[in-house]
Amino acid sequence: MVLQLEDCIDVLKVMYPQFNFLFLFDHSCGHDKQREDGLNIENMSKIYEGKQSMLRPTLIKQEQGYLGLYKCILKPGDTQFMSFQPQDSGPFWMSEQKLENMRKDRVLDGQTMQKKFQIGSN
Read off the pLDDT of residues 20-29 as tens digits, 9 standing for 90 and up.
999 888 766 6
Range of the domain at 114: 1-122
In terms of C-beta density within 10 A (0-12 exposed, 13-18 middle, 19 or more buried), how is residue 44 classed?
A: middle
Read off the pLDDT of residues 84-102 as tens digits, 9 standing for 90 and up.
777 777 777 788 887 777 7
Q: What is the DSSP letter of 3?
A: H
Task: Provide the domain count of the chain.
Answer: 1
The string of DSSP letters for 85-115 reads -TTS---TTS-HHHHHHHHS-EEETTEEE--
Whole-model pTM over 0.75: no
